Amino acid sequence: MTTDSHPPENLRRSKIHSDEMLEWMQGKGKTIIIIHDNPDPDCLASAMALRHLLAMKLSRDAIIAFSGMIGRSENIAMAKELEITLIPLDLVRLDEFSVVCMLDTQPGTGNNSFSPDRRVDIIIDHHPMREASKKCRWVDIRDEYGVTATILYEYLLAQNITIGTKLATALFYAIKSETQDLGREANQPDRDAYLRLFPIANKRLLYEITHPKVPVEHFRTIHSGVENATIYGKLLVVNLQKICFPEVVSEMADYLIRLEDIETVLGMGHYNDGMILSIRTTSHLLNAGEIIRRLVAGRGTAGGHGMMAGGLLNNVPFDPAALKEVEDFLTRGMLQELSIGNVIPRKLIETR
Ligand SMILES: [Mn+2]
């Protein structure tokens, strides 16, 4: 709690930016909030918060649109328990909207399905700024933040808007999951938001979200992940082969990075016509986002931050030879990036 009469710099920035943005939106018509494909807790909570802000300040009901699917059981539970209404982007008539907002992603990044030729008015994100984003009208990109939801939390605070228990739970869970309880890439504003939201978050709902029932595929994926993991010194590479939903690759990367002596995990899995990729690292000397962009250069799209990143390799046919070729090519790239030479690969689990 700030007792000082001058709020910290970040809150002042949130106040000025949200004031001006809301003022600009005053006379405008229908509003759409676009989040990234295969939504995660951060973009879900951010969208819920922006929708609430617009309802309270402008009496405007915005719609939240996404593409892909929600596959991870925790995220399905979050959308259900917190009643977050989402509309598939393909079902939306985009010409009806006069204000387009994009959250936790930016135009043309490859992780949202909004045509890069269309106008975006508002971007709120914590990924590094893209060239194309600079021409949008309202851009609030803070790549020093661990979570986009923290920025939206600050807007609500700055605008004196009451945060109900479901919204508080959503924002709290977004910060909790994205930063792994403030342990990963969290900054002071994320810590402040987490601590202030904790008392108002509903603990029973939080429990439902963090302990969902999971389908048998979850255990099959753990099985195949453990069986298909190869260790190259401090690097672990896991090829999950065919996956049922995209987020499972990052989920397994988070699971396997806990292995002793492993510093970096490269995960991959085949989905639709491509290969979903995820990198996790505990090394502060590496930048996962830059590494993954170099790995997929010319063959797909990728992005991320220092310790976590994701990407997609396009046009990978589903056959064992092609999957092996992709795994070998990415592994070579990773070994080069991490300057690992002359290492004898070994399986995580030797099977007979
Ligand atoms: Mn995020």
List, for residues 247-294, the tens digit of each pLDDT value: 999 999 999 999 999 999 999 999 999 999 999 999 999 999 999 999
For residues 275 and 305, membership in a common domain is answered with: yes
For residue 182, report the distance from its CA to the centre of ligand 1, in Å: 13
Of 178, 193, 210, which residue constitutes the final position of a domain?
A: 210
For residue 352, report the distance from its CA to the centre of ligand 1, in Å: 41
**Which pLDDT does position 6 carry in this prediction?**
73
For residue 320, report the distance from its CA to the centre of ligand 1, in Å: 33
Q: Look at residue 283 and tell me if it is in a domain.
A: yes
Measured between its terminal Cα atoms, the distance across the chain in Å is 59
For residue 266, report the distance from its CA to the centre of ligand 1, in Å: 19
**Which pLDDT does position 2 carry in this prediction?**
47
For residues 156 and 271, membership in a common domain is answered with: no
Of 192, 210, 228, which residue constitutes the final position of a domain?
A: 210
Q: Look at residue 118 and tell me if it is in a domain.
A: yes
Q: Look at residue 131 and tell me if it is in a domain.
A: yes
- Whole-model pTM above 0.85? yes
For residue 40, report the distance from its CA to the centre of ligand 1, in Å: 8
Q: Residues in the chain with pLDDT < 50?
A: 2
Of 162, 193, 210, which residue constitutes the final position of a domain?
A: 210
Q: Tally the domains of the chain.
A: 2
| H-run or E-run covering 317 | none
For residues 26 and 173, membership in a common domain is answered with: yes
For residue 169, report the distance from its CA to the centre of ligand 1, in Å: 16
Output the domain CATH number for residue 87: 3.90.1640.10
For residues 181 and 256, membership in a common domain is answered with: no
**Which pLDDT does position 352 carry in this prediction?**
65
For residues 64 and 105, membership in a common domain is answered with: yes
Which residues have beta carbons under 5 A from ligand 1 (an ion)? 42, 104, 148
For residue 237, report the distance from its CA to the centre of ligand 1, in Å: 24
For residue 43, report the distance from its CA to the centre of ligand 1, in Å: 6
Q: Report the alpha-carbon distance of residue 241 to residue 324 in Å, rounded.
A: 9
Output the domain CATH number for residue 294: 3.10.310.40
Phi, psi of 219 (to 5 degrees): -75, -35
For residue 255, report the distance from its CA to the centre of ligand 1, in Å: 19
For residue 145, report the distance from its CA to the centre of ligand 1, in Å: 9
For residues 245 and 192, membership in a common domain is answered with: no
Tell me the residue range of the domain where 225 lies. 216-347
For residue 345, report the distance from its CA to the centre of ligand 1, in Å: 33
Q: Look at residue 41 and tell me if it is in a domain.
A: yes
For residues 236 and 342, membership in a common domain is answered with: yes
Q: Report the alpha-carbon distance of residue 82 to residue 74 in Å, rounded.
A: 12
Residues 6 or more apart in contact with residue 307 via CB below 8 angstroms: 184, 185, 280, 281, 282, 288
For residues 176 and 234, membership in a common domain is answered with: no
For residues 231 and 204, membership in a common domain is answered with: no
For residue 346, report the distance from its CA to the centre of ligand 1, in Å: 34
Residues 6 or more apart in contact with residue 103 via CB below 8 angstroms: 33, 34, 35, 43, 46, 47, 50, 123, 124, 125, 148, 152
CA 254 to centroid of chain Cα atoms: 13
For residue 337, report the distance from its CA to the centre of ligand 1, in Å: 25
Q: Look at residue 49 and tell me if it is in a domain.
A: yes
Q: Which residues are 65's β-sheet partners?
A: 34, 87
Residues 6 or more apart in contact with residue 92 via CB below 8 angstroms: 32, 63, 65
Q: Look at residue 352 and tell me if it is in a domain.
A: no
